[in-house]
């Protein structure tokens, strides 16, 4: 069912829009398994600073990535208002901590712009494109292949 709504026609893609550090981002809806409210994570010793820990997702241990910290913003201090976007990427289930999910948006390929050359290298690595809208809003599309390289240690589905 989820796959059937990922691409609603040629050149159009549905994405889940969310906020991090007050900024707008999105990921392909076909990668999203569910969206959950924040649940305290169990901290892992010696984990990278952008890994908030792990949660129990119906018996599976799932790592939670603080997207803000991973993208170079200040680390998130999660509260019950925050959400965890559960994604399936490269056969692994991963939680992505975000402030809130704002919308499901259909993006036309013509709306996608390249990341400007003046952006810093890490920004260009993690952002695959920028969707522009008539109201001036810009959604930065996260490239999970770059954001989650080598998903060893993440839960498999």
Question: Which of 126, 132, 112, 138 lies closest to 12 in space, CA to CA?
Answer: 112
Q: Using alpha carbons, list the distances in angstroms from residue 113 to 11, 21, 81, 139.
A: 14, 22, 31, 10
> pTM of the entire structure?
0.85
Q: Domain map of the chain by residue range?
A: 12-144
pLDDT in tens, the chain (157 residues): 344 345 556 788 999 999 998 999 999 999 999 999 999 999 999 999 999 999 999 999 999 999 999 998 999 999 999 999 999 998 999 999 999 999 999 999 888 888 887 656 666 788 999 999 999 999 999 999 888 866 544 554 4
Q: Do the strands 138-142 and 23-28 form a parallel or antiparallel pair, or are they unpaired?
A: parallel
Contact partners, residue 25, CB within 8 Å, separation at least 6: 17, 18, 19, 67, 98, 139, 140, 141, 142
Question: CATH topology for 12-144?
Answer: OB fold (Dihydrolipoamide Acetyltransferase, E2P) (2.40.50)
Task: Return the residue matching tokens 């939670």.
Answer: 64
Supply 7's token pair: 């691409």
Helix (H), strand (E) at residue 67: helix 67-70
Burial-class residue 82 by CB neighbours within 10 Å (0-12, 13-18, 19+).
Answer: middle
């Amino acid at each position: 069912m989820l796959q059937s709504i990922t691409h609603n026609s040629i050149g159009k893609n549905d994405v889940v829009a969310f906020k991090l550090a007050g900024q707008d981002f999105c990921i392909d809806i076909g990668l999203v398994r569910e969206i959950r409210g924040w649940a305290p994570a169990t901290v892992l010793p010696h984990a990278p600073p952008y890994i908030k820990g792990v949660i129990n997702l119906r018996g599976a241990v799932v790592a939670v990535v603080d997207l803000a910290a991973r993208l170079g913003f200040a680390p998130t201090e999660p509260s019950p208002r925050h959400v965890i976007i559960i994604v399936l990427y490269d056969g692994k289930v991963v939680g992505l901590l975000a402030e809130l999910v704002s919308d499901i948006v259909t993006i036309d390929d013509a709306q996608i712009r390249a990341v400007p050359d003046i952006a810093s290298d890490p920004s260009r690595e993690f952002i695959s494109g920028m969707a522009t809208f008539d109201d001036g809003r810009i959604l930065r599309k996260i490239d999970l292949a770059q954001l989650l390289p080598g998903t060893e240690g993440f839960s498999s589905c």
